Amino acid sequence: MSLQNIGIVYRKELREALRDRRTLISSLLVPLVLFPLLTAGLGAAISVLMGQAKEEIYKVMIIGGEDSPRLVDDLRQLKTIQIMPLAQTWKDQIVDKTIRAAIEIPVGFESDLSAEKSVTLKIYDYEGDLKSSLASGLIKEHLEGYREGVVKASLYLKNISPETLKPFEVEKQNVAPPEKVGGAAFGGVIGYMVILLCLTGCMYPAMDLTAGEKERGTMETILSSPISRTHLVLGKFFLVLTTSLVTAALSVTSMGVSFWVLERFHAFDKMGSDAAQLQLSIGLKQVLSIFIMVLPLAVLFSAGVMTVSLFAKSYKEAQSYITPLMFVVIIPAVSAMLPIDLTAKLALVPILNASLLCKELVVNTYHWNYIAIIFFSTCVYAAAALFLAVKMFQREDVLFRS
Amino acid sequence: MIESRALTKLFKDKKRGEIRAVDKVSFVCKPGQIYGLLGANGAGKTTTLRMLATILEPSDGTAIVCGNDVIEEPQKVRANVGFLSAATALYPRLSSQEMVEYFGRLNGLDEAILKKRIDDIFGRLGMNSFRDRRCDKLSTGMKQKTSIARTLIHDPQVMIFDEPTLGLDIMTARTIIDFIRECRQRGKTVIFSTHVMSEVERLCDTIGIIQSGKLLAEGSLAELREQYKENDLEEIFVKIVAPLQKNEEVA
């Protein structure tokens, strides 16, 4: 094994990569811009939009209610809604988003209440539309309050204490620290993003150094030099691995910095209560652990993408092979966002294991037994992929496929 | 010196089955001489030369290049060979000098010798004006000169040219032809393939006519004229190749 020859190939490939705009964009720009945008940008945007939606005064219509003036008056007191004159087209107006909801008060509602008959109030909304759902939620909450008032008045008249209906309280309390709450909610997304960027970081150079080299006709040039094919593929592989790791490192660092900046400027507090679950403190320890776990995965991706790309005759053909491969990576990486807990069996499933582990590492949870299984199993998969890539470079039918 | 001994290459094709691209081809190229491999497209020229350059491994037979067996010691063979073909392109994002330096380093040259050789070759080929220009910004002629410099950097004893003038304009092709002549003058063993009769007539000391992977005839131009009673090389070529082509068409 001549490290010198591998180094010569590596340095040359690095020089070319640094002069290639597409590699620079996929390996440097995307991870540096994506995370700040996702965290600060998207997070803030969601909070602002949610805040705006909540501050809006919703237009609603009341169907009926002529014989129930007290309820209608009570609804008019509600500051978050504006009662509009009833129109026959109220259903269409909800769908057209001209109004957000409608309340149907049945005939004789108040007299039935006095007679202690059970009656039903209906709220009509546009299911799936955020503002309509918020409006109907507000109305429902208000009507439930109104019902409680009616019940209390009735119990008072009968000399029964309201506590009779509520002999005990049920209270739910979170014991997890705020950063763990945020981690549980967003840890899966972070694992997914890091894994995906690790793949996208190595994709372009891997295709360029194999199929691209075939397409440009430089493969025959390099094969006519005295370097052995093993040294050649290793030199290329280390460059692809470098870009993958640089992308992963930048994405993890940019993620850490983004959350630190948000925390430092108390941006979460300013975003309102909904942003509280965004509170995620990612320290140096977590960044380093995620990076170490991503290392063998980067080897697996680099060698895997190089092997697949080498089959292709051109860069375009390589892209058509790699696109389905992306789904193979995305599906297990996304699965970590589902309520799945890491188990010994899942620790052996490539990509999914790393993704689930990222979720744990983000919230400072270290299951060392799983970490060991995941690290070593991924190392084995990575070694197998690298071995395959080296073997592929020895095959004439692959190198000179026509 | 190149000694090809029953060099054979088989390819597997899904539709056509096993293809004998090169079939027991034997010949000898001596230092200070140019051996021309003349054949139509698909005759087996490129495969033969790729085997001599150890880019492909022979299925049977072997070849000895500068005393090294192409199967046993392919790296040593490549260290003594300069290979240039229409398909050997340049790295677009490297400069002309970086391209040549890269191949010098791959050939194990130390930095002092590499610098001296680059200065010498670049001066000789008139490449100093574009030595720092990226290869994708070079004209065809400049690219060919860079390719020549790349093959010369390790001062190989054997030069292999696979249709080196294919698709080139007259002036650029002339640079290559002059370079092949210069290689002979410097005592190198030169083999080159072509289907251009005039190039063979102008350059070759020995001509080998190849068709369907078989070496059908061999000799100097004068010997072939004498043997086939024809003066025109094209007529000689047709006389040699036509019977085999007819047989293949019947089959």
For residue range B81-115, what is the model confidence (pLDDT) as tens digits?
Answer: 999 987 778 999 999 999 999 999 999 999 999 99
What ipTM goes with this model? 0.91
Specify whether A37 is located in the same domain as A61: no
Instruction: Please compute the mean of the pLDDT values over residues A123-141 and round it to a whole number.
Output: 90
**Does residue B108 fall inside a structural domain?**
yes
pLDDT of residue A265: 65
- Let me know: does B23 contact B214? Beta carbons within 8 Å: yes
3-state secondary structure chain A: CCHHHHHHHHHHHHHHHHCCHHHHHHHHHHHHHHHHHHHHHHHHHHHHHHHHHHHCCEEEEEEECCCCHHHHHHHHHCCCEEEECCCCCHHHHHHCCCCCEEEEECCCHHHHHHCCCCCCCEEECCCCCHHHHHHHHHHHHHHHHHHHHHHHHHHHHCCCCHHHHCCCCCCCCCCCCHHHHHHHHHHHHHHHHHHHHHHHHHHHHHHHHCHHHHHHCHHHHHHCCCCCHHHHHHHHHHHHHHHHHHHHHHHHHHHHHHHHHHHHCCHHHHHCHHHHHHCCCCCHHHHHHHHHHHHHHHHHHHHHHHHHHHHCCCHHHHHHHHHHHHHHHHHHHHHCCCCCCCCCCHHHCCCHHHHHHHHHHHCCCCCHHHHHHHHHHHHHHHHHHHHHHHHHCCCHHHHCCC
**Does residue B162 fall inside a structural domain?**
no
Tell me how far apart the terminal alpha carbons of chain B are, to the nearest angstrom. Answer: 38
Specify whether A46 is located in the same domain as A78: no
**Token digits of residue B229:** 């009673």
Q: What is the mean pLDDT of chain B?
A: 91
DSSP reduced 3-state for B10? strand
Beta bridge mates, B63: B4
pLDDT of residue A282: 63
Per-residue pLDDT tens over the stretch A342-374: 888 888 999 888 888 888 887 778 888 888 999
pLDDT band of residue A402 (cuts 50, 70, 90) is low
Do A226 and B108 make contact, defined as CB atoms within 8 angstroms?
Answer: yes
Interfacial residues of A (vs B; Cβ cutoff 8 Å): 5, 8-9, 12, 15-16, 19-20, 216-218, 220-221, 223-228, 396-397, 400
What's the number of domains chain A is made of?
A: 2
**Does residue B99 fall inside a structural domain?**
yes
Do B56 and A227 make contact, defined as CB atoms within 8 angstroms?
Answer: no
Give the rounded percent of residues in chain A with a pLDDT score beyond 70. 91
Which segment of A289-293, A317-321, A329-333, B32-36 scores lowest on mean pLDDT?
A289-293
Give me the domain span that covers residue A81. Answer: 56-165
**Does residue A60 fall inside a structural domain?**
yes
Specify whether A63 is located in the same domain as A210: no
Last residue of a domain, one of A112, A131, A165: A165
pLDDT of residue A179: 65
Specify whether A126 is located in the same domain as A184: no
pLDDT of residue A186: 67
pLDDT of residue B122: 93
φ, ψ of residue B27 to 5 degrees: the values are: -165, 170
**Does residue B104 fall inside a structural domain?**
yes
Do A218 and B89 make contact, defined as CB atoms within 8 angstroms?
Answer: yes
**Does residue A307 fall inside a structural domain?**
yes
**Token digits of residue A100:** 């957000």
Specify whether A232 is located in the same domain as A342: yes
Question: HSE-up of B101 (CA within 13 Å, CB side)?
Answer: 15
Which segment of A271-280, B219-228, B233-242 scores lowest on mean pLDDT?
A271-280
**Does residue A216 fall inside a structural domain?**
yes
Last residue of a domain, one of A110, A131, A165: A165
pLDDT of residue B197: 87
**Does residue B119 fall inside a structural domain?**
yes
**Does residue A304 fall inside a structural domain?**
yes
Specify whether A149 is located in the same domain as A200: no
Specify whether A189 is located in the same domain as A312: yes
Last residue of a domain, one of A122, A138, A165: A165
Beta strand spans in B108-247 (E): 158-162, 189-194, 206-211, 214-219
What's the number of domains chain B is made of?
A: 1
Of A8, A20, A400, the CB nearest to B106: A8
**pLDDT exceeds cutoff 70 at A275:** no
Q: What is the mean pLDDT of chain A?
A: 85
**Does residue B96 fall inside a structural domain?**
yes
**Does residue B234 fall inside a structural domain?**
no
**Does residue B140 fall inside a structural domain?**
yes
Interfacial residues of B (vs A; Cβ cutoff 8 Å): 12, 53, 55-57, 75-76, 78-79, 81, 83, 85, 87-94, 98, 102-103, 105-108, 134, 150
Give me the domain span that covers residue B105. Answer: 90-155
pLDDT of residue A233: 94
Specify whether A196 is located in the same domain as A313: yes
The residue type at B102:
Y
Specify whether A27 is located in the same domain as A119: no
Specify whether A290 is located in the same domain as A395: yes
Specify whether A361 is located in the same domain as A224: yes
**Does residue A140 fall inside a structural domain?**
yes
**Does residue A117 fall inside a structural domain?**
yes
pLDDT band of residue B251 (cuts 50, 70, 90) is low
**Does residue A62 fall inside a structural domain?**
yes
Do B57 and A5 make contact, defined as CB atoms within 8 angstroms?
Answer: no
**Does residue A35 fall inside a structural domain?**
yes
Per-residue pLDDT tens over the stretch B10-22: 998 888 888 899 9
pLDDT band of residue A39 (cuts 50, 70, 90) is low
Specify whether A127 is located in the same domain as A263: no
**pLDDT exceeds cutoff 70 at B140:** yes
**pLDDT exceeds cutoff 60 at A270:** no
Residue A122 sits in a domain whose CATH number is: 3.40.1710.10
pLDDT of residue A51: 75
